[in-house]
Chain A
Amino acid sequence: MNVKTGSYLIFRSLCCRGHRQSASRPPKHVPRAERTGFSPAAASKCDWIGPPDRLSNLRPIIYHIPENETPLERTLRHLRQDTEDWSHEFWTNQNFTFSKEKEEHVRSQLSSKGLSERDDDGRKRTLSSEEMAVFYKHFLDKNMTRHASYNREWYGRNFTITLLMARVALHNTWRTLTGQTRGTGREKGKST
C-alpha cells in the first residue's frame, strides 16, 4: 500500500466513520460486524475470510459458531478472535503512526531546506532515498521495544492457537472414530 495513499485513506476513514477520537489517534477497535460490513449466509458452515483491512492489512475472519460448540472449540474461537483484534489494533496503530511520522519528517526536511511542500507544478515534493532512510532508521529504533514485545506475544499466541487447533482436530477425529455425534456422548475438552 502506498504510504501516502494510506495516510489519506486513514484520514478519510476517520472522517467518514465519524470517529470520536481526534485525527491524531488511530481508530480504536470497532465491533466486527460494523467494521467489516459483511455477514455470511446463514446456511454457511465455514469460517469466512475477507479482503485485507485498509488500515492494518490483515484479513478479518468471521467465525462460524456450530451448534453444540464444545468448550474447547469456544476457547479456540475466542482466542483466535482476540488475537486477530489485538493484531489489528497493533498494525493499524503502526501503519498510521508510520504514515504520520513520515509526513512530518518530509515536511520538516523540506522546511529546513526552505522549500515548500509542493513544487511549481503543484506536485508534492519527495525526498531522496537517503533522506528518507534517516527517518526509516529512526522509526525502527524508536519502536524497537514495542516490536519486540509484539513479536513475543504473537509467537506465544500463534503457538497456543495451533496447539488448540490440534486438540480440537484430534478430539473431533476421536469422536468420529468412536461413532459419537456432536451433542451426544462425552463432550469434555481433553481428548489426550
Chain B
Amino acid sequence: MYKTPCSRLTGVWKCLSRDGLVGVGVQQKLIANVARSHMSARRLIQLCRRDQAEWMTFQHLCFLKRQYVKSSSVLCQRARPKQEHVASVLDDRDDSVVRQVQQIPALKPEPGTVAPPCDPTEPEAARAARLEARQWKELKVEYSDLPGIYARLSKLKLTALVVTTAAAGYAMAPVPFDPVTFLMASVGTCLSSCTANSINQYFEVPFDSNMNRTKNRPLVRGQISPLHAVSFALACGIPGVTLLTLGVNPLTGFLGALNIFLYTCCYTPLKRLSITNTWVGAVVGAIPPVMGWTAATGSLDPGALLLGGFLFSWQFPHFNALSWNLREDYSRGGYRMMSVTHPGLCKRVALRHSVGLIGLSALGPVLDVTTWTFPLVSLPINLYISYLAFRFYRYGDRQNARKLFFCSLWHLPMLLLLALTCKKSRVPQDEAPVAPSTPSPAL
C-alpha cells in the first residue's frame, strides 16, 4: 500500500507505453521485463518515449487526476481505493494493465454501488461526519452536541412523521377537538417513538456499522455509551407511557407500550431471522393513528382500525420499494428481507397493498369516517401509486422501485389530508330538526 510515489507513477506509466489500452499480453511482458530488471522511472520514460505524443496526454491526465484527488478532500475517500489499484500493479501479475485502465473511467461512480456521493453539493454535516470518522477521538460526551445526538438517536424526523399520523388519527375522530388531550397524546406518542428508536439503535450497533445508510449513527460513532442510550430511552419511555395512560386514557397508554414492545422486541430481532418482520413493522406503523383515535374517543372503533389499515397497507409499497435497492447491503448485513429472499413475493405484496388502498378508501364512507367524496378524490393518487406498483411488479428494476418509493413519500400525507378534508362532520342531534332556513353545516 505504501509504495513510493515514484514507483506508483512507474506503475501507471508502464501500462501506457504503447497504444494505451490494448494488447494485454504485450504490456504484461513489458511489465514483467520492468519488474525483473528493476528499471528506474527515468529509464522507463526513455523506453516509452516512442509514442510520446499520445502517451504524454494520458500520463498528464493521470498525474492531474492524482493531484486533483489529493487536493480535493471531497474526493479523497473515493480516491484511496483507486490508489490501491495503482500500487497493486507491481504485485498482481495478471490483469494489472487493465486494472489501470479501469482507473480512468472510474471517476464516475460505478452503477449499482452504494458509494457515498462525493460532490460539492454534499451537505456540510455529512461531509464533516465523514472526515471526522477517519480520526481517533476520545470517548466522552460532548455536552454541546447532546441535543443533536439525541435527535439522531431518537430518529427525530421519523418520530415527527409518527406524531403526525397520530395527530391525523385524533383529528379524524368524530369528537370535539380538545387541545389539552391532543397535546398530551402528541407528546406521549413522541416520547414513546423516541424510546423505541433509541432501543432499536442500541440493539443494532454492529449491523448499523456495516451498512452505508446507518453508519453515522451516534452509538456507532461512539458519541454516547450504550448505557447512556438506554438511560435516554427509559427517560423518554417511562414519562411517555405514563402521560398517555394517566393524561389521556389507559387504552392509549397500553397501545403506546405495545408499540414500543413490538418495535424493539419483535421487529428488531425479527429483521435478522425472518421476512415476517415487514408485517410486524407494518403493524407498528399502523398503531399511532389508532392511538390518536383512541386518545380522542377512548375506544377502539372501526374508524380507528380503518386509519390503521391505511398505514398498514401503505407500508408495503413504501418499504418493499425502498428495500429493493438495498439488497446488497441487506444480504451482507444478514437482514432477511423479502426483497432479497423472496423477490416475487416482495413485488406481489407491494402491488396487492397498493390496490388495497383503493378498497380501503371506499370503506371510509361505509364506516362513517368520511363522506362519499373521499373515495372519489383519493382515486387519482391511489390509481397512480397502484400504477407504479404495477410497473414495479412487472419490471422489478431499480428505477421503478425508486419511483414507487418516492411516490409513497407524498402519497400518504396527501391521503391523510384528503381524508381530513372529507371528514364526516357530526351534526348534533338536537339541532338537526331545527328550521330548514338555518343552513346546515357544510359536509
B301 at the interface (CB under 8 A from A): no
Please tell me if the beta carbons of A129 and B397 are within 8 angstroms of each other in the complex: yes
Interface residues on B, range: 35 or more
**Contact string against A for B residues 100-139, beta-carbon threshold 8 Å, 1 for contact and 0 otherwise:** 0110010000111111000000000000000001111111
Which A residue sits closest to B205, measured CB to CB?
Answer: A158
Q: List 17 A-B contacts (CB under 8 A).
A: A2-B113, A3-B328, A8-B81, A9-B84, A49-B139, A52-B215, A58-B209, A61-B139, A95-B332, A118-B95, A126-B112, A132-B112, A136-B330, A137-B341, A139-B331, A143-B334, A155-B269
Residues of B within 8 A of A (CB): 1-2, 21, 81, 84-85, 87-88, 91, 95, 98, 101-102, 105, 110-115, 133-140, 202-203, 205-206, 209-210, 212, 215, 220-222, 225-227, 230, 269, 272-273, 327-328, 330-332, 334, 336, 340-341, 343, 396-398
Please tell me if the beta carbons of B206 and A40 are within 8 angstroms of each other in the complex: no
Please tell me if the beta carbons of A38 and B210 are within 8 angstroms of each other in the complex: no
Binds B, one of A65-73, A160-168, A172-180, A182-190: A160-168
Task: Report A18 CB to chain B, min CB distance, Å.
Answer: 12
Please give, as numbers and ranges, the residues of chain B lying within 8 Å of A98 by CB-CB distance: 331-332
Please tell me if the beta carbons of A140 and B331 are within 8 angstroms of each other in the complex: yes
A78 at the interface (CB under 8 A from B): no
Q: Can you name 13 extra interface pairs (CB under 8 A) apart from A38-B136, A49-B138? A: A2-B114, A46-B138, A122-B21, A129-B112, A133-B343, A136-B330, A136-B331, A137-B340, A158-B202, A162-B202, A162-B226, A165-B225, A169-B227
Interface residues on A, range: 35 or more
Taking a contact as CB atoms closer than 8 A, the residue among A9, A13, A51 that contacts B133 in the complex is A51
Please give, as numbers and ranges, the residues of chain A lying within 8 Å of B21 by CB-CB distance: 121-122
Taking a contact as CB atoms closer than 8 A, the residue among A46, A129, A151 that contacts B272 in the complex is A151
Please give, as numbers and ranges, the residues of chain A lying within 8 Å of B110 by CB-CB distance: 2, 4, 126
Please give, as numbers and ranges, the residues of chain B lying within 8 Å of A3 by CB-CB distance: 113, 328, 332
Contact A44-B138, Cβ < 8 Å, known A121-B21, A166-B227:
yes
Task: Report A104 CB to chain B, min CB distance, Å.
Answer: 15
Task: Report B330 CB to chain A, min CB distance, Å.
Answer: 8
Please tell me if the beta carbons of B209 and A158 are within 8 angstroms of each other in the complex: no
Please tell me if the beta carbons of A87 and B206 are within 8 angstroms of each other in the complex: yes
Please give, as numbers and ranges, the residues of chain A lying within 8 Å of B209 by CB-CB distance: 52, 56-59, 91
